[in-house]
């Protein structure tokens, strides 16, 4: 996400301004960003200078061309019909930088769009249509349940079983992952915005939406045999090789909500019959290991938005910003 120094004030500010937010959020959720980041550090260890979550990742760059047809829903400059530079990061969730690429966990795609006026738009997504927690408390309890037992060095299966039994909101994503094997490449997944958002047009009309990015290379899953025989690390190399052979594209698809659609629970999908429209094309032109690359020091805060795009009331979405900020601050301080 030009050189980092060109954008340093913006991305630094976007991360640090929200450091004061956890206190006010805690009154509603009884969970603070410090608690969540500390739990991640306890469960996965501290890897100096690295993200506390989605630690393992790959950088990429490209552009986005938003359709002017989207302007009936949003006045965002994203939808000017002109190319907008993008810095992307593909990642694996969790704080283990050595997690195998065959793990039955979500894959992530984070995007920073750099608009002509210097403003930024962030989008952080997963390749599951629903999230694994309806509240920050569930997210925290999930991390705690996975804390390694000192005696075995591995999570206690009974604690994980108890977590699932007491947190039904964690099940929809787990069921999706159980039914869908991981993809053979980053480029063979759709990536979902998970949360509901609000698009606002020039007439100040607000439309509740969700979005996803659908791959032109097609969605694919590894077979059980491929999962058993695949190397521990292959996603980064395959992405780099794929982009060397030509650009990779995703279509941005907007799902239009209707009155009564849920806007504050990312574990609940919307009905399949909702109107869906294609509103732009993301093109990734090259990829590289993240060390020293543009995406490495970007705090992909999902609440960094352009005029015309606004957050919903989803408590998980609103909590992510301060949690990212604490993690980012720890990294800046060399922790």
pLDDT of 225-236, one tens digit each? 999 999 999 999
Cβ(312)–Cβ(206) below 8 Å: no
Q: What are the pLDDT digits (tens) for 238-262?
A: 999 999 999 999 999 999 999 999 9
The beta strand positions in 80-205, using DSSP E, are 84-92, 108-114, 120-126, 191-192, 197-200
Fold observed for domain 4-332: Catalase HpII,  Chain A, domain 1 (2.40.180)
Please report, for the chain, the start and end positions of each structural domain, with discontinuous segments joined by +.
4-332
Q: Token pair for residue 204?
A: 């100040």
Confidence of residue 333 (pLDDT cuts 50, 70, 90): confident
For the question of residue 54 being annotated catalytic, the response is yes
Strand pairing category for 84-92 and 108-114: antiparallel
pLDDT band at 29 (very low <50, low <70, confident <90, very high): low
| Angstrom distance (rounded) from CA 312 to CA 277 | 20
User: pTM of the prediction?
Assistant: 0.90
| Higher local confidence (pLDDT), 334 or 47 | 47
Set 54, 122, 167, 195: catalytic member: 54
Backbone dihedral angles phi then psi of residue 128, each to the nearest 5 degrees: -120, 140
**Structure tokens of 184?**
């053979």
């Amino acid at each position: 996400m030009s050189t980092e120094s060109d954008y340093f004030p913006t991305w630094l500010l976007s991360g640090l301004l929200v450091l004061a937010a956890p206190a006010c959020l805690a009154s509603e959720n009884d969970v603070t960003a410090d608690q969540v980041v500390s739990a991640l550090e306890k469960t996965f260890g501290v890897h100096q200078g690295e993200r506390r979550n989605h630690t393992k990742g790959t950088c990429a760059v490209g552009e986005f061309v938003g359709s002017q047809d989207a302007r009936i829903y949003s006045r965002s400059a994203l939808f000017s019909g002109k190319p907008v530079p993008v810095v992307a990061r593909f990642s694996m969730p969790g704080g283990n930088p050595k997690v195998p690429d065959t793990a039955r966990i979500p894959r992530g795609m984070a995007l920073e769009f750099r608009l002509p006026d210097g403003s930024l738009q962030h989008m952080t997504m997963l390749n599951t249509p629903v999230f694994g927690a309806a509240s920050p408390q569930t997210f925290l309890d999930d991390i705690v349940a996975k804390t390694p037992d000192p005696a075995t060095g591995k999570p206690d299966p009974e604690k994980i079983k108890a977590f699932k039994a007491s947190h039904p909101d964690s099940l929809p994503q787990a069921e999706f992952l159980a039914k869908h094997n991981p993809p053979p490449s980053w480029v063979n997944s759709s990536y979902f915005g998970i949360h509901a958002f609000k698009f606002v047009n020039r007439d100040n009309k607000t439309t509740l939406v969700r979005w996803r990015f659908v791959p032109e290379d097609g969605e694919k899953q590894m077979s059980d045999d491929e999962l058993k025989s695949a190397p521990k690390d292959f996603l980064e190399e395959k992405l780099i090789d794929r982009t060397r052979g030509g650009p990779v594209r995703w279509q941005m698809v907007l799902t239009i909500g209707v009155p009564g659609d849920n806007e504050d629970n990312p574990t609940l999908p919307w009905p399949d019959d909702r109107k869906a429209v294609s509103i732009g094309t993301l093109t990734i032109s090259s990829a590289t290991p993240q060390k020293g690359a543009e995406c490495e020091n970007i705090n992909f805060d999902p609440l960094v938005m352009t005029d015309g795009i606004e957050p919903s009331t989803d408590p998980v979405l609103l909590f992510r910003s301060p949690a990212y900020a604490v993690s980012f601050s720890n990294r800046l301080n060399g922790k």
